[in-house]
Structure 1
Amino acid sequence: MQLPPSPDLSGLVKHYLIIENQAEGGLLHRFFADGHPGFVFSYADPFREYDNRMQSSSLPSSFVYGQVNRYHTLISGQRIGLLIVVMQPWSIYTISGIPGNELTNLQINCVDVFGSDGNQLQEQVLTSTNHISRISHIEAFLRKRRTNLSPELTSVEVAVQLIEQTNGNATIQTLTNTLNLTERSLERRFDKVVGIAPKQFSRIIRLQSCLKTHRQQPNLSLTELAYAAGYYDQAHFIHEFTRLVGLTPSQYEINNRRLAVNLMPLTA
């Protein structure tokens, strides 16, 4: 279930995502980039994550996650209950002051990021008995933490919006000309505020745009889908898809148990 934020918080929050499911204990899940950081509150069984050495560790019951530029393999318990606050690309930096590149591909306990405020939020959300109450606590927290926009933040917002409006196909030259910045200045601001380079962010947005097009027009062939999304050809599309998702487009397509666009079980 997807819920919108209150209108005054739309500059920070894209949407809330509520995922509830029963699964076999120890089931592997794939999570991959969608261009947005966020918060996760787990009010059922905890998830674990495999690292690059295939060693697993438990994820906190509430955590902040930064931008993702590689796919992650997670392990669920039997009961899945998640409230995910999908933030705007710049929002974690806005409310925490932590440079985005220090959070890329990381999941950090809310308490470690926000101290006593994070601890209070965690207790409020995880002890609430309904989603309306949980979201109300989250929005009160966000209103307290948001700051005034700086020119640095404003320029990144404009760049992100242009990338999203062009489905990831805006060139770096278009961005620098629009913002009157050098390429290096744009990269530094993106690295600090968003957490990844503008080219990497554009690739992620293009893939997400491609998945959206596929949902809207499921009869398109891979070749038609690739060209519609701005890829050079089908081979380029398959390479980019596999690198970001860790699955081929065909493997993704046949998985009919997706919990979200970018979260799905890997086995039956």
Structure 2
Amino acid sequence: MQKTIYQAKHQDLKQHITDYWHITFSESTPALKLPPLGMPVMLFQYGEESDFYNLEQIKTSSIIVGQFSKHMVVNPTPKTRILGVNFKPYGLYNLFGISPKTLFNTGVPLNTLFPKEEIGKIEVKLKNGIQIESVIDDIERMLLSNKKEVQNHNLLDSITDKIIARKGIIDQSEILNGKINARTLQRYFSKTIGISCKMFCRILRHKYILELIYQNPEMRWDDPLFLEYYYDFSHFRKDFITFSQTKPVDFKSIMNNFTKSLLE
């Protein structure tokens, strides 16, 4: 499997998009479980027709997914190619006024949000092997041409950035700092991020735990570095099972290079 990362090119998109990434599968792979990443993601799957996304009633190859509160199962084949667009947690709303709340634990075809002909041109270029940089240019033109006038909340966006930087370990009173009340924060997260602030922090902690275990596969699950994010091991174990539907002791059997690449 090969992964390449690309940065947003247009200045107006850099504050809304984390990066673009392209992955090529080169060998037969069983169904994979991918963790929630804490951000909406636009996905173009091409190379071979398959039920890659494993989402009910979604058979199209180009979709956008919102926030996930559990691991997502995908079904790659040796010829699967994926071009992804990672939005910042608030990027989808700030660009288009689309709340990830409507995409919670699911996805929708891209042609329900953007003009079908524009999506079609991008899909044709991917299938014809046009350079990914050229395809990204087309994606950026599509995003900018469909951008809406949305009132952004810069202070709350910056609070979200701070939570991300702290891996979800942050006291609410610290991030509010008397500048904003808790109810306003709750409304912002529900509408702009798509989940509660508490759930967002839990996802970031879980994601960081997985980053640690992928970077250090010899680590034990009772390592103090893991447990400093939870009251005790029982809370850690319960949270881990909630997200992954897998006990920590069994998790290493489902570790995979696709997840590792997404977490890097």
Q: TM-score range by the shorter chain?
A: 0.7 to 0.9
Identify the match of residue 43 of structure 2 among 40, 43, 64: 40
Query: What displacement does 1:49 show?
Result: 4.8
Alignment-mate amino acid for residue 222 of structure 1: W
Query: What displacement does 1:77 show?
Result: 4.2
Alignment of 1:116-155 (within 5 A): 116=116, 117-146=118-147, 150-152=151-153, 154-155=154-155
Alignment-mate amino acid for residue 199 of structure 1: K
Alignment-mate amino acid for residue 87 of structure 1: F
* Distance change (3 Å), C-alpha of 1:10 and 1:218: farther
8 A contact 2:47–2:127 mirrored in 1: no
1:232 aligns with 2:231: yes
8 A contact 2:42–2:64 mirrored in 1: yes
Alignment of 1:13-92 (within 5 A): 13-22=17-26, 24=28, 27-45=30-48, 46-50=50-54, 57-92=57-92
8 A contact 2:221–2:249 mirrored in 1: no
Q: Aligned partners of 1:211, 1:157: CA distance in 2, in Å? A: 25
Query: What displacement does 1:186 show?
Result: 0.8
Moved more, 101-110 or 68-77: 68-77
Query: What displacement does 1:167 show?
Result: 1.3
Q: Aligned partners of 1:49, 1:125: CA distance in 2, in Å? A: 18
Q: Aligned partners of 1:218, 1:65: CA distance in 2, in Å? A: 29
* Distance change (3 Å), C-alpha of 1:127 and 1:63: farther
State the match for 2:219 in structure 1: 220
8 A contact 1:18–1:81 mirrored in 2: yes
Q: Deviations over 1:219-251 (max 9, x none)?
A: 4332223234x1222222222112112223333
Partner SS for 1:214: helix
State the match for 1:12 in structure 2: 16
Q: Aligned partners of 1:76, 1:68: CA distance in 2, in Å? A: 19
8 A contact 1:23–1:80 mirrored in 2: no
Q: Deviations over 1:187-236 (max 9, x none)?
A: 111111111111100001111122223344444332223234x1222222
Q: Deviations over 1:147-175 (max 9, x none)?
A: 677352x1331121111122101122223
Alignment-mate amino acid for residue 7 of structure 2: P
Partner SS for 1:129: coil
8 A contact 1:38–1:65 mirrored in 2: yes
Alignment-mate amino acid for residue 237 of structure 1: F
Query: What displacement does 1:98 show?
Result: 1.5
TM-score by length of 2: 0.83
* Distance change (3 Å), C-alpha of 1:159 and 1:138: same
After TM superposition, the runs of 4+ consecutive aligned structure 1 residues lying more than 6 A away are none
Q: What CA RMSD, in Å, does the superposition of the two structures yield over aligned residues?
A: 2.8
8 A contact 1:71–1:244 mirrored in 2: yes
Partner SS for 2:256: coil
Structure 1: 5+ residue runs without aligned partners? 264-268
Query: What displacement does 1:82 show?
Result: 0.8
Q: Deviations over 1:76-123 (max 9, x none)?
A: 445221111111111111222122211222211111111244444444
State the match for 1:266 in structure 2: none
Q: Percent identity?
A: 20
Alignment of 1:98-177 (within 5 A): 98-116=98-116, 117-146=118-147, 150-152=151-153, 154-177=154-177
Alignment-mate amino acid for residue 134 of structure 2: S
State the match for 1:181 in structure 2: 180
* Distance change (3 Å), C-alpha of 1:257 and 1:100: closer
How many residues are aligned here? 256
TM-score by length of 1: 0.82
